[in-house]
A and B are shown apart, each in its own frame.
Chain A
Amino acid sequence: MVDAKNISELGSSDTQYQEINDLLDKNQHYKEGFFTSTHVETFKKGLNEDVVRAISAKKNEPDWMLDFRLKAFKHWQTLDEPHWAKAEYTPLDYQDYSYYSAPTCGSCSEDGVEAEIDPEVAKAFAELGVPIAGDDANIAVDAIFDSISVSTTKREDLAELGIIFCSFSEAVQDYPELVQKYMGTVVPYHDNFFAALNSAVASDGTFVYIPENVHCPIDLSTYFRINEAKTGQFERTILVADKGSYVSYLEGCSAPVRDTYQLHAAVVEVIVLDDAEVKYSTVQNWYPGDDDCKGGILNFVTKRGICEGKNSKLSWTQAETGSAITWKYPSCILKGDNSIGEFYSVALTNRRQQADTGTKMIHIGKNTRSTIIAKGLSAGKSDNTYRGLVKILPSAEGARNFTQCDSMLIGDQCGAHTFPYIEVENATAQVEHEATTSRIGEDQLFYCKQRGISEENAISMIVNGFCKEVFSELPLEFAQEAEELLAISLEGSVG
């Protein structure tokens, strides 16, 4: 065993503080861009087997977890960074990131005992409007700050129903059989470059288990916050909905304003058994970077769910407004007969942001159905790509898919691209695809203004009209947040 202390650095980041505030002044429209100055333990930059072992040691992990990490790390070393997506980035120097950072007096689960949450960290979440004190009756929250989960609310209430809602690290300690049973079954460690990296250095994440026939009475949510500079966040989320259960799960994200790219490579696995339903909603507002998108988050995420059982249902709803680059394809493997997969997405890019996002619907079971509604909004000099795969395997008798991809261009310097891949191997399947592209330009805005409508109202009216079908799938509070985020992200995007 390597002693974690040898490669960790202790210290507060006061010097960075001024620098960051300076930057913030230039980026006033990203209101989540503040930095929390607190005592942190951060590993030195760099990635090698010792670092992987140190992360595992830090978290006091059992051998099977360390083995999983090492296997993934060995495999990762054999892979090349992918550059096939429409999103372009210069190759990353993986040695220039730190792979572990945590507030020192956070509720680190080192010995399984919950410590008091760092007041500075608590303040940060309060400022973000994340109810980590458990005072919101309708929602339970797992709050993740850099590499660790600092607070999980309402656990006891949920436990009475047999629901497990805890950080991934705790699940490894407390529910090893469940974690071993499901981890890597939907997204294997060798799935892709970033999934392998995540499997090796997974920081924290959320673990959810809904037992048979339990309808989870409140929304479960995770809020991810990247705070430290040059720290990657590699969370691992596993959500299991046992037979006949239901859960609505939400995640939100943000990060301080930085001047160098930060890496976020998450893996999410969702398992839905017979007659169960999972609604998975994301509002992603990672820092997009400055006007050239320098310093923004590189959001390379693998999200996948399997509708394992018959009549199961999985819906992904996402509003993606942040990040310098987003590379994300929440997918559904429709294995159970009559299972349903849905993907509702709004992806907005502005300035020089790039998004390459979409979904994969893999139809295996009989009479499986999938719906894809993807809305891409591009403004400024950004590029927005929809990339989707609908695959109907020979076994998927009577499968159906409906896909609608709409792009809206705001101004004339941005791009929208659509790549729908359709592979049908069963003649009884029905696949429908519709696509539209429209542009909001000066003329439309002038027309609105000539009728007395302000530019701000005009844009939000046009954009919300365009996104209506997707936002109506989001839980109410989230829908509102998403609308506001769009408005903020689009400020000054025309003219």
Chain B
Amino acid sequence: MLLTIENLQAEIDEKQILKGLNLDIKPGEIHAIMGPNGAGKSTLASVLAGKDAYEVTAGSVMFDGQDLLELGPEERARKGLFLAFQYPVEIPGVSNKLFMQTAVNAVREEQGLLALDMFDFDEYAKDKIELLEMRPDLLERSVNVGFSGGEKKRNDIFQMALLQPKLCILDETDSGLDIDALRLVANGINALRSESRSFIVVTHYQRLLDYIKPDFVHVLYDGKIIKSGGFELVHELEEHGYDEIIQQSK
């Protein structure tokens, strides 16, 4: 198992959002998580990534054989947990390239590898830049500053390609992408698929899932997974919406 979530409960500002969530992910699997607005999808992603504001009140999370909840967010990242944010953050004054070089080197240090200098990094980044068709100016500019919504999302996937994580959590990466960008991002994800790498893909739409064909689909509602199934569950949801499943779960 790469990730085992058991009875995860978490709150923010004393409001309980996750209410006993279970999920098992094996290496190489792609899990899609769908669910209505406010269900707790981003909360789950943030808790897994270790955001301070959330407090875990019960349950456990094992990641690659270790207690994930024990680790700080930067340690989780260095051990291979990656989150593509629903709203990627702008960092003024720091070039995207320096930012990514620093991040890649932080992960390499953890793995006992030598740091890449600017030249090594350029070499290393080349095929990832091509894969996501990143415009050169986006690398020179400050991280996400003045990027369009779609460019920000694509930048996050570019970072993912550079960091080569074990678990990729994508929080609505497909929202706000035009048709071409969606195809690029899907290609990026597919190019990263491997037997050892797993994905959690949070989305509201079938479009992205059509490209990447998830192994499992889960419906998250009110802080719990109320239904799990295969790819066919996506069609069911597209046709009937969440109401029926929610009613059944009660």
B106 touches A446 (CB 8 A): no
Nearest residue, chain A, Cβ from B106: A452
Judge whether A461 and B74 touch: CB under 8 Å: no
Asked if B93 and A462 make an inter-chain contact with CB atoms under 8 angstroms apart, the answer reads yes
Q: Which of B31-39, B81-89, B124-132, B194-202 contacts A (4 or more CB under 8 A)?
A: B81-89
Do A447 and B103 touch (CB < 8 A)? no
Among candidates A442, A461, A495, residue contacting B99 with C-beta atoms closer than 8 Å: A461
Report B161 CB to chain A, min CB distance, Å: 13
**Which of chain A's residues 411-467 have a Cβ closer than 8 Å to chain B?**
436, 438, 440, 442-444, 446-455, 457, 461-462, 465-466
User: Which residues of A sit under 8 angstroms from B90, Cβ to Cβ?
Assistant: 444
Chain B proximity of A476: nearest CB distance (Å): 19
Query: Which of the listed residues B85, B94, B110 has the most CB atoms from chain A within 10 Å of its own CB?
Result: B94
Size bracket of the A interface: 20 to 34
Which of A438, A443, A452, A454: most chain B CB closer than 10 A?
A: A452
Main secondary structure of the interface of A (DSSP, over half): helix
Residues from 90 to 126 in B contacting A, C-beta threshold 8 Å: 90-95, 98-100, 102-103, 106-107, 110
- Is A449 a contact partner of B93 (Cβ separation < 8 A)? no
Q: Which residues of B contact A468 (CB under 8 A)?
A: 93
B residues within 8 A CB of A446?
Answer: 49, 51-52, 73, 89
Interface size counted on chain B using CB atoms at 8 A: 32
Interface pair B92/A450, CB less than 8 Å apart: no
Instruction: Report Cα–Cα, A378/B85, bound state, in Å.
Output: 28
Q: Which residues between 43 and 93 of chain B lie within 8 Å of chain A, taking CB atoms?
A: 49-53, 72-74, 77-78, 82-83, 85, 88-93
Interchain CB contact (< 8 A) of B77 among A443, A451, A461, A495: A451
Closest to B92 in A: A438
Contacts of B170 in A (CB 8 A): none
Decide: B73 and A443 in contact? CB cutoff 8 A.
Answer: no
How far does the Cβ of B37 sit from chain A's closest Cβ, in whole Å? 20
B168: Cβ under 8 A from any A Cβ: no
Is B30 interfacial (CB 8 A cutoff)? no
Partner of A453, one of B49, B50, B51, B106: B106
Given A461-B99, A495-B52, are A447 and B89 neighbors across the interface (CB < 8 Å)? Answer: yes
- Whether, in the assembled complex, B163 has its beta carbon less than 8 Å from a beta carbon of chain A, the answer is yes
Subset of 27 A-B contacts with CB under 8 Å: A408-B93, A444-B89, A444-B91, A446-B73, A446-B89, A447-B89, A448-B91, A450-B74, A450-B77, A450-B83, A450-B85, A451-B100, A451-B103, A451-B106, A451-B163, A452-B78, A452-B103, A452-B106, A452-B107, A453-B102, A453-B103, A454-B74, A462-B94, A465-B94, A465-B95, A466-B92, A466-B93
The list of the 4 closest CB pairs from A to B, nearest first, reads: A465-B93, A452-B106, A451-B103, A452-B77
If A449-B72, A453-B103, A461-B102 are given as contacts, then 13 extra A-B residue pairs at C-beta distance below 8 Å, sorted by A number, are: A442-B53, A444-B89, A446-B73, A447-B89, A449-B50, A450-B77, A451-B100, A452-B110, A452-B163, A461-B98, A461-B99, A462-B93, A465-B142
Interface positions of B (Cβ within 8 A of A) = 49-53, 72-74, 77-78, 82-83, 85, 88-95, 98-100, 102-103, 106-107, 110, 142, 159, 163
